[in-house]
Amino acid sequence: MTITPSTKAVLSRYPAAKIIVTCEKCGMRAKYDKAEMLAAGGDRALTLLLEEIARHKGCQRIDAKPFDVKNICGAIYANIGGGCD
């Protein structure tokens, strides 16, 4: 993947060594090693990675209709605070 200004939020720029994903709606919590994820799947957009993780963990809400706010997946990156620069 070529990193351009429009792809700043990618795995290689994740500001921590561990990727921590949580969801308050279903109680899901997952922790991954950033280097291992890069080696296994390459660099990718964090939005797509979040969907992949939620799907892998069995999220039933990941494919909810976009405007069904009560039913959308609540997965977030728990340890990046302000995001990726």
Write down the pTM of the prediction: 0.79
DSSP E strands in the chain: the ranges are 18-22, 29-33, 76-77
13-70 pLDDT, tens per residue? 999 999 999 999 889 999 999 999 999 999 999 999 999 999 999 998 888 777 787 8
Q: Is 77 exposed, middle or buried (0-12, 13-18, 19+ CB in 10 A)?
A: buried
Query: Rounded distance, CA 46 to CA 40, Å?
Result: 15
* Strand pairing class (29-33; 76-77): unpaired
Q: Which of 76, 83, 11 is nearest to 41 (CA)?
A: 11
Domains of the chain: which residue ranges? 6-77
Q: Hunting for tokens 């799947």 — which residue is that?
A: 41
